[in-house]
Amino acid sequence: MHTEYGALSYQGNPPASAAWREGFPQGERLFFDFGPFTTDSGFTFDQVTVAYQTWGVLNDDASNAIYVAHALTGDSHVTGEAGPGHATGGWWNSLVGPSAPIDTDKYFVICANVLGGCQGTTGPSSTAPDGKAWGSRFPVITIGDMVRVEYALTSFLGIGSYALMLGPSLGGMRVLEWMVRYPEAVRGGLVLGSTAAVSAEEIGIHATQIAAIELDPHFKNGDYYESAVGPVEGMGLARRIAHLSYRSESELDLRFGRNLQGTISPSEGGLFAVESYLNHHADKLARRFDANTYIALTRAMTLFDLGEGRGGVVNALNTINAPLTVVGIDSDRLFPLRLQQEIVDSSPGADELHLLISPFGHDGFLVEEEQVAQFVGHALNRVEESTSTQ
């Protein structure tokens, strides 16, 4: 099994967990261990492992580093091919590389799998000191915990500040947390399709997804790693719910309408095309992700409130003075534009709300590569202009 962890395959049934685990091919990952580390919930890990990847070369004064913060089901593999150690290819392939918008001939780019992840960084599927997966013993974690782990990695790499930190969705939450918690460490930020505090509707969407997984009889309170069958049906249902919030109503209607998948009517047991589409994404996630990680990261997003302990969201955002580029997606129903406008209105470093025009909803940050490239260029220009005037 260990030697077979590589490019995603649809052969056979999904595993109980598709997490990358110790002993699997390393792929392009690098690892950093540190500890002890105490979470905001009060749990102490003797050691935390961070899986990360880098591209480019760090210059002599460590001033050319850029950090990419991945979203919920992303990982450190921003760019590159699927293969041994990596179930899928890079999730932002066109953005990072030689002569790319984030030019690795000029910048040193870093991306780490978050705390709680399932692609090499300490998470529920990782091996605990007793030799078993953490499973149900893995603690509740927060966006702040993830950022503190990323900060430990940054210090280990000898980077005093990032020229730019960027991220979509969950990644955007971490960018904001970085800019408030460690303002001296981020010279510029780019937030795409995100929020400074998760709304009531998002909390409800998250809760429904978590319930879908936990009600799967194969979930076993999170201790399913030695089982032949894991909570793949529950996670599949969670993914279907999430995916509907990731796309726009108009895109789904134009793409699928009431079309059938095949020739059999739904009244006779067939499927609408949109049902088949959702089934495919549920199956795909089960072959590259882990249900406990889905819960841990989703719950961390639910708990996210940048203003907690800081006098409220507005007060927290008021401390962001570094150049901040905020991008909203016009068709995003998960993180609607008003949430990005709130960030802009209260952040001294923000210039304006930038619009990504797309029919694809929240997923626009993955689909609209040319527009994302333009926003990256704008963010980098702002950082350079700020630096030149200091």
- Residues annotated as catalytic are 169, 332, 362
Extract the tokens encoding 52: 């990360």
Residue whose structure tokens are 């309170």 = 221
DSSP annotation of 194: -
Q: Is 3 helix (H, G, I), strand (E, B) or coil?
A: helix
Cβ neighbors of 369 (< 8 A, separation 6 or more) are 94, 95
Cβ–Cβ < 8 Å for 148, 52? no
Measured distance CA(143)–CA(301) in Å, rounded: 7
Burial 191-222 (b: 16+ CB within 10 A, else e): bbbbbbbbeeebeebbeebbebbeebebbbeb
Nearest to 192 by CA among 387, 383, 369: 369
Measured distance CA(105)–CA(275) in Å, rounded: 44
Element (H, E) at 347: none
Extract the tokens encoding 214: 């936990």
Cβ–Cβ < 8 Å for 118, 290? yes
CB neighbour class for 36 (10 Å; exposed up to 12, middle 13-18, buried from 19): exposed
Name the phi and psi angles at 201, rounded to 5: -65, -40
Q: Where are the alpha helices (DSSP H) in 347-368?
A: 364-367
Cβ neighbors of 386 (< 8 A, separation 6 or more) are 187, 188, 322, 323
Measured distance CA(343)–CA(59) in Å, rounded: 32
